[in-house]
């Protein structure tokens, strides 16, 4: 569970706090020191030769909209000024504080990469050589344009040679090795019931639209989106050389297959339940479930020895997909595979493919009007392919050992605040309380960057075609995933690269993770006073910690096993409290007829409320025995705490992007992440003098921690 949405292969790794632009990729927060002691502008040594120093000097009160009423709409009051002066750039669907910080990190990475490609005689096989050649091949527009679609031709030839179900299955396996989840996805995952072990896992997949509901809903917008998608698929086939009539027929074939796969897929709300996606099977069970798919042949094709156990995340999907293998003609499947190959590769090909891909996925689905500059796309691509190799250079440039130590101290303080809260919860029994505190004490805390860096020795990257380097990176990652199966879990691994502007909690690892990329302003600012920092990075740390006790995390014990550790009575009470949050967010209207989906966003919303509650308690405790901090610009310390939270979520979003995220993202829209949890907090109402009946004071207050 992470602060923001990020695409993770096969399984959602964890839970996060935010959701940034889909055109880039990162997100989280950080620390505190009394303002009268903050004479050093960088007391913690967080920033070394880094442009992040320019982000802010404490809190910028021009971000406020003082014409708004804090008790009517706190998000508008706290961030309205920022929203008025920060229009969304044409290349973005969302523009917010997360995006701005991500932009700065991209600039740091850009400087690193540009410096590397100018160096001569980089050691062959070194991380620096691989990073430089990968980035350089992406930036080599002349070669990419000259090659057009030629890099895909060997794979097209293999698809053309398919003549029966077995050769079809062979090609599915080959595409999976390239990390193209045609029909379904395959990889490794921790065993939910034995968190020390890694097992094989198969999951539903094979769709080109963002979610199965795009194929199944009958409202006018969904129908329009399907029509636009079909036109996009047809145009891509034409770019591959097919005439208009043939391309239209091929598009219809793709839509038919994907619709059938969607109809047998689980919804996003259903897949949020861990129990619904845990169905371990031995090979005999798997063969009985899908009699038309030769799993032994598939395992050989992906270079995987026979496996003892496979988790089938969605058995009904695989039953349905197995039937489709024989019901749909092989020639139609070949069309489907051609589409998924070019769809996955589009960003690595010549400009006509890049532009068509952007026109649908960027312009239509997200409302952007320009594509990102090539260097930004190439920096992000290099980060995805060699994240820890590039991240190591990023850390050397921006994040000191002192910064890591200070962040670790912050996490420790917030954990103490949550422990205190668990100790005094009136609705939790002693039996459950003891186990909850035990789970909290067992948290693994990962700060800044890994203690052990990932090896890229087996990854082959050269000065050839960008597409080939991208395939090589995909194959490397796929084989790295398969290599874990049957082996003990490596608890030193990270699920995000160090420059990532995000944070996450992983229930199977029972760990909280804060990359260096987010431990910067506006989440943590050494020049701001404690109140802002507790409301910013403090609430983010609290958010990730309380993910361990949200509607999903509460089902995993201290060791990361899916096991019931609550008493029945306590879990019933807990569910009633999370249901309150579900109903609250169901009521938030995004646009006429479209509401937030409470059961989809409940985990993140519970974590927001819990994180703020814990951070506020920690801040109040930090004031004990000290002179009360002075008001700043007329705002009390308590008021500044809540401003610290709101400024993190300052954001403008296009209607198309808001619509897309509402249907697919477990994170609520930013304005609801501000107003939603605060309207449940008596401390907020007291700080701003809000009265019963004000919109920021809920009559039926949700309270968990």
**Which residues carry out catalysis?**
544, 608
For residue 116, give every residue at least 6 positions away whose Cβ sits within 8 Å of its Cβ, in sequence order, or none: 122, 128, 131, 132, 135
Q: What is the DSSP string of 4-64?
A: S----SSS---BBS----TTS----------GGG--SSSTT---SS-GGGGS-SS--GGG-
CA atoms within a 13 Å half-sphere pointing along the CA-CB vector of 586:
8
Separation CA 473–CA 476 (nearest Å): 5
Question: Quick one: which of 686, 609, 649 has its CA closest to 70?
Answer: 686
Tokens linked to 258: 């994907």
Return d(Cα 157, Cα 150) in angstroms, integer.
Answer: 11
DSSP character at residue 635 = B
**Among 113, 30, 49, residue whose Cα is nearest residue 517:** 30
Count of Cβ atoms closer than 10 Å to residue 591 Cβ: 11
Longest Cα–Cα distance of the chain, Å, equals 80
651: helix, coil or strand?
Answer: strand
What strands, in cross-sheet order, belong to the sheet with 194-204? 184-191, 194-204, 310-312, 280-281
**Residue 514: beta bridge partners?**
447
Q: Which of 21, 61, 53 is nearest to 646 (CA)?
A: 61
Give 587-596 contacts, CB < 8 A, sequence gap 24+.
Answer: 588/668, 588/669, 588/672, 588/676, 590/658, 590/659, 590/662, 590/669, 591/655, 591/658, 591/659, 593/219, 594/659, 594/662, 595/662, 596/662, 596/668, 596/669, 596/672
Residue 183's closest CA among 346, 302, 289, 340?
340
- Which DSSP string corresponds to 326-338? HHS-HHHHHHHHH
The alpha-carbon radius of gyration of the chain (Å, integer) is 25
At residue 264, φ and ψ (nearest 5 deg) are -105, 5
Residue among 351, 13, 347 nearest 3 (CA): 13
Beta carbons of 543 and 610 less than 8 angstroms apart? yes
Dig out the tokens for 249 from the structure: 């027929």
Dist. CA 573–CA 551, nearest whole Å: 12
Q: Which residues contact 130 (CB under 8 A, 6 or more apart)?
A: 386, 389, 456, 459, 461
Report d(CA 30, CA 406) in Å as an integer: 9
Strand 511-515 to 504-506 pairing: antiparallel
Q: How many CB atoms lie within 10 A of CB 129?
A: 18
Tell me which DSSP letter residue 447 carries: E
On the 0-12 / 13-18 / 19+ scale of CB atoms within 10 A, 685 is buried
């Amino acid at each position: 569970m992470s602060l923001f949405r990020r695409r993770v292969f096969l399984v959602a790794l964890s839970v996060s706090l935010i959701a940034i632009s889909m055109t880039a990729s990162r997100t989280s927060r950080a620390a505190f020191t009394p303002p009268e002691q903050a004479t050093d502008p960088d007391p913690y040594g967080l920033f070394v030769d880094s442009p992040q120093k320019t982000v802010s000097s404490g809190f910028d009160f021009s971000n406020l909209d003082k014409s708004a009423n804090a008790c009517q709409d706190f998000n508008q009051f706290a961030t309205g000024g920022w929203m008025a002066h920060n229009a969304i750039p044409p290349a973005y669907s969302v523009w917010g504080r997360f995006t701005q910080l991500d932009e700065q990190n991209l600039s740091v990475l850009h400087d690193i990469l540009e410096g590397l490609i100018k160096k001569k005689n980089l050691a062959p096989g070194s991380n620096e050589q691989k990073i430089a050649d990968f980035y350089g091949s992406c930036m080599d527009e002349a070669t990419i344009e000259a090659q057009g679609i030629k890099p895909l031709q060997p794979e097209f030839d293999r698809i053309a040679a398919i003549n029966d179900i077995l050769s079809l299955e062979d090609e599915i396996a080959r595409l999976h090795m390239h990390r193209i989840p045609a029909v379904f996805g395959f990889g490794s995952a921790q065993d939910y019931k034995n968190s020390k072990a890694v097992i094989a896992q198969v999951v539903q997949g094979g769709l080109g639209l963002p979610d199965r509901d795009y194929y199944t809903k009958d409202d006018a917008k969904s129908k329009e989106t399907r029509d636009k998608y079909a036109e996009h698929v047809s145009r891509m086939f034409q770019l591959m050389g097919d005439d208009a009539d043939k391309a239209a027929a091929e598009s219809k074939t793709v839509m038919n297959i994907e619709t059938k796969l969607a109809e047998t897929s689980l919804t996003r709300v259903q897949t949020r339940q861990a129990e619904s996606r845990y169905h371990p099977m031995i090979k005999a069970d798997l063969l009985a479930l899908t009699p038309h798919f030769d799993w032994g042949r598939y395992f050989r094709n992906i270079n995987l020895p026979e496996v003892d156990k496979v988790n089938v995340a969605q058995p009904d999907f695989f039953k349905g997909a197995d039937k489709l293998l024989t019901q749909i003609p092989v020639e139609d499947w070949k069309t489907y595979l051609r589409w998924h190959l070019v769809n996955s590769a589009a960003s690595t090909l010549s400009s006509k493919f890049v532009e068509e891909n952007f026109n649908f996925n960027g312009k239509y689905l997200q409302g952007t009007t320009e594509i990102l500059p090539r260097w930004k796309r190439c920096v992000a691509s290099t980060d995805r392919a060699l994240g820890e190799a590039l991240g190591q250079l990023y850390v050397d440039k921006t994040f000191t050992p002192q910064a890591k130590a200070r962040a670790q101290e912050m996490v420790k303080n917030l954990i103490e605040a949550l422990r205190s809260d668990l100790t005094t919860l009136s609705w939790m029994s002693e039996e459950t309380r003891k186990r909850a505190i035990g789970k909290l004490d067992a948290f693994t805390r990962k700060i800044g960057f890994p203690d052990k860096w990932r090896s890229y020795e087996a990854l082959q990257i050269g000065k050839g075609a960008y597409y080939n380097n991208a395939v090589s990176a995909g194959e490397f990652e796929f084989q790295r995933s398969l290599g874990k199966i049957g082996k003990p879990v490596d608890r030193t691994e990270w699920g995000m690269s160090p420059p990532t502007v995000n944070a996450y909690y992983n229930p199977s690892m029972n760990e909280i993770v804060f990359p260096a990329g987010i431990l910067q302003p506006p989440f943590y600012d050494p020049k701001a006073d404690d109140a802002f920092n507790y409301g910013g990075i403090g609430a983010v740390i609290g958010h990730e910690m309380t993910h361990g006790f949200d509607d999903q995390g509460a089902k995993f014990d201290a060791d990361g096993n899916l096991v019931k550790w609550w008493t029945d009575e306590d879990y019933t009470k807990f569910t009633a409290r999370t249901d309150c949050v579900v109903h609250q967010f169901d009521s938030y209207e995004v646009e006429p007829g479209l509401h937030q989906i409470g059961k989809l966003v409940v985990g993140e919303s519970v974590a927001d409320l819990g994180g703020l509650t814990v951070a506020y308690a920690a801040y109040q405790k930090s004031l004990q025995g000290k002179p009360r901090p002075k008001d700043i610009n007329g705002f009390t310390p308590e008021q500044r705490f809540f401003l610290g939270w709101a400024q993190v979520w300052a954001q403008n979003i296009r209607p198309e992007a808001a619509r897309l995220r509402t249907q697919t993202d477990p994170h609520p829209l930013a304005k609801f992440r501000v107003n939603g949890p605060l309207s449940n907090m008596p401390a907020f109402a007291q700080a701003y003098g809000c009265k019963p009946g004000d919109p920021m004071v809920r009559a039926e207050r949700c309270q968990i921690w």
